[in-house]
């Protein structure tokens, strides 16, 4: 009975996300904003049916803060980047904790923490060196967020036996951010029109960002019912 309920809810969720993902490609203006935000809200609501342990709760909180971030980036005009990146950083912190608690070895946890802390320090130093006087809180919080996302992807794939959907969702998340970053670079810093592949990524004939973003959040949400760990 419980399995049937899971299958039904998951099937409805996936179907709705597919429909919304398609609608995003063919809608514009306020309708597009509504459909886009609804797809993330649906992903944030899905885990509510399955919260049964610490892992699921952390994913739930992470998805909620992703929803808050998109409120600042998608719904509110002009967008508010700083609060959005703070929310995204909290999301990745939640995912870090999920990964960390899944590591049963004390040695693995210590190595994980050392790698993460050193990586954060290095990326912050590089940010200051590269941007110099242009360094601001937005640049620092953005690099903090992205390095945590990258580290989460690496360690999540090491735990892929417990949930393969989670690392794939994070990887798609990173791909989405990469495209957004290339768009910003192309508009403000460099011109990449001579590179066919990069030009396609920056200016595709469809909404590539949301084509990747919706599946990423869908898979992260679905990962809670495929999580084979027993963390309580």
What pLDDT is stored for residue 188 in this prediction? 52
**Spatial distance between the Cα atoms of 112 and 187, rounded to a whole number of angstroms:** 36
DSSP tag of 159: T
**Spatial distance between the Cα atoms of 43 and 50, rounded to a whole number of angstroms:** 13
Q: How far is CA 10 from CA 14, 45, 215, in A?
A: 6, 12, 14
At which residue do the structure tokens 């360690």 appear? 155
Please provide the DSSP assignment of 23-75 as one string.
HHHH--HHHHHHHHHHHHHHHHHGGGGT--SHHHHHHHHHHHHHHHHHIIIII
**Angle of CA points 74, 130, 171, to nearest 5°:** 45
The 3-state DSSP class for residue 226 equals coil
**Spatial distance between the Cα atoms of 216 and 174, rounded to a whole number of angstroms:** 9
CA-based diameter of the chain, in Å? Answer: 61
The 3-state DSSP class for residue 205 equals coil
- 179-206 pLDDT tens trace: 887 776 655 555 656 666 666 666 677 8
- 101-135 pLDDT tens trace: 999 899 999 999 999 999 999 999 999 998 888 88
What pLDDT is stored for residue 171 in this prediction? 97
**Spatial distance between the Cα atoms of 15 and 36, rounded to a whole number of angstroms:** 15
What pLDDT is stored for residue 50 in this prediction? 86
What pLDDT is stored for residue 55 in this prediction? 83
Q: Does residue 219 contact residue 33 with C-beta atoms inside 8 Å?
A: no
What pLDDT is stored for residue 232 in this prediction? 42
What pLDDT is stored for residue 227 in this prediction? 64
What pLDDT is stored for residue 32 in this prediction? 96
**Spatial distance between the Cα atoms of 144 and 91, rounded to a whole number of angstroms:** 12
Length of the chain, please? Answer: 232
Q: Does residue 103 contact residue 109 with C-beta atoms inside 8 Å?
A: yes
Low-confidence ranges of the chain (pLDDT < 70): 1-2, 184-203, 226-232
**Mean pLDDT computed over every residue of the chain:** 89
**Spatial distance between the Cα atoms of 193 and 140, rounded to a whole number of angstroms:** 28
Q: Does residue 187 contact residue 193 with C-beta atoms inside 8 Å?
A: no
Q: Does residue 79 contact residue 72 with C-beta atoms inside 8 Å?
A: yes
């Amino acid at each position: 009975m419980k399995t049937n309920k899971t299958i039904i809810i998951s099937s409805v969720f996936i179907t709705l996300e597919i429909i919304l993902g398609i609608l995003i490609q063919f809608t514009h203006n306020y309708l597009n904003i509504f459909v886009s935000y609804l797809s993330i809200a649906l992903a944030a609501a899905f885990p509510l049916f399955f919260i049964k342990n610490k892992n699921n709760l952390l994913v739930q909180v992470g998805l909620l803060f992703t929803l808050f971030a998109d409120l600042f980036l998608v719904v509110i005009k002009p967008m508010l980047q700083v609060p959005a990146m703070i929310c995204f950083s909290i999301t990745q912190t939640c995912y870090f904790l999920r990964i960390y608690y899944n590591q049963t070895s004390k040695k693995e946890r210590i190595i994980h923490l050392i790698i993460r802390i050193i990586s954060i320090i290095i990326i912050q130093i590089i940010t200051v060196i590269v941007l110099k006087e242009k360094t601001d809180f937005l640049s620092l919080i953005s690099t903090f967020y992205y390095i945590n996302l990258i580290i989460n992807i690496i360690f999540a794939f090491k735990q892929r036996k417990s949930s393969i959907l989670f690392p794939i969702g994070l990887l798609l998340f990173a791909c989405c951010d990469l495209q957004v970053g290339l768009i910003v670079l192309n508009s403000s810093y460099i011109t990449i029109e001579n590179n066919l592949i990069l030009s396609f990524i920056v200016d595709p004939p469809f909404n590539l960002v949301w084509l990747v973003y919706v599946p990423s959040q869908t898979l992260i949400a679905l990962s809670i019912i495929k999580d084979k760990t027993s963390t309580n």
